[in-house]
């Protein structure tokens, strides 16, 4: 499968990031089985704890648009020196909606994307076990 579009979408989404406090801009994108792609970015708030990460923003954007079946996730930050994987909270949210074998691509400013599967980012997921039953 060609994952260049979802990676490009994450790069585009980082341009929409609202991060006046951390100055750390993040974009994410999630690709659906029908080929459509939904964007997300981190959206900060002066009450810092209300901030949402780019990854959860992308997932909620897709779910809120009626999508259910996903084939890839991508994350990009122009402000990271290293490939930026999702935080723990986002790993759990991604695993809620993406199968264990879905690839998650993540990159820092060099645009050299690493890849881990959902099951590698979030192993022994009880939800995936429950869904099997
Ligand atoms: N952030 C993300 O959006 N995704 C990540 O994977 C790491 C952190 C955001 C949250 C906050 O707005 C800023 O980056 C600094 O932590």
pTM (two decimals)? 0.96
Active site residue 44: no
Q: If you take atom 4 of ligand 1, which residue's CA is the nearest one? A: 53
Please, are residues 62 and 46 in contact by the beta-carbon 8 Å criterion? no
Please, are residues 98 and 58 in contact by the beta-carbon 8 Å criterion? no
Q: Is the pLDDT of residue 128 over 70?
A: no
Residues with Cβ within 8 Å of 106's Cβ and at least 6 positions away in sequence, in order, are: 74, 75, 76, 83, 84, 85, 86, 113, 114, 115, 116
Taking only the tens place, the pLDDT of each residue in 19-43 is 999 999 999 999 999 999 999 999 9
Ligand 1 pocket, residue 79 CB under 6 Å: no
Ligand 1 pocket, residue 92 CB under 6 Å: no
Taking only the tens place, the pLDDT of each residue in 39-85 is 999 999 999 999 999 999 999 999 999 999 999 999 999 999 999 99
From the list 12, 55, 81, 96, the catalytic residue is: 55
Ligand 1 pocket, residue 41 CB under 6 Å: no
From the alpha carbon of 53, which atom of ligand 1 is closest? 3
Ligand 1 pocket, residue 121 CB under 6 Å: no
């Amino acid at each position: 499968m060609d994952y260049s579009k979802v990676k490009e979408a994450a790069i585009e989404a980082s341009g929409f990031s609202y991060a006046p406090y951390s100055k750390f801009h993040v974009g994410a994108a999630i690709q659906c089985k029908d080929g459509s792609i939904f964007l997300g970015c981190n959206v900060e708030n002066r009450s810092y704890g209300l901030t949402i990460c780019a990854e959860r923003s992308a997932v909620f954007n897709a779910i809120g648009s009626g999508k259910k079946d996903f084939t890839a996730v991508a994350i990009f930050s122009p402000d990271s020196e290293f490939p930026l994987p999702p935080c723990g909270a986002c790993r759990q949210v991604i695993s809620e909606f993406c199968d264990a074998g879905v690839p998650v691509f993540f990159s820092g400013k060099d645009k050299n994307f690493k890849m881990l599967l959902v099951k590698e980012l979030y192993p022994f997921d009880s939800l995936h076990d429950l869904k099997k039953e």
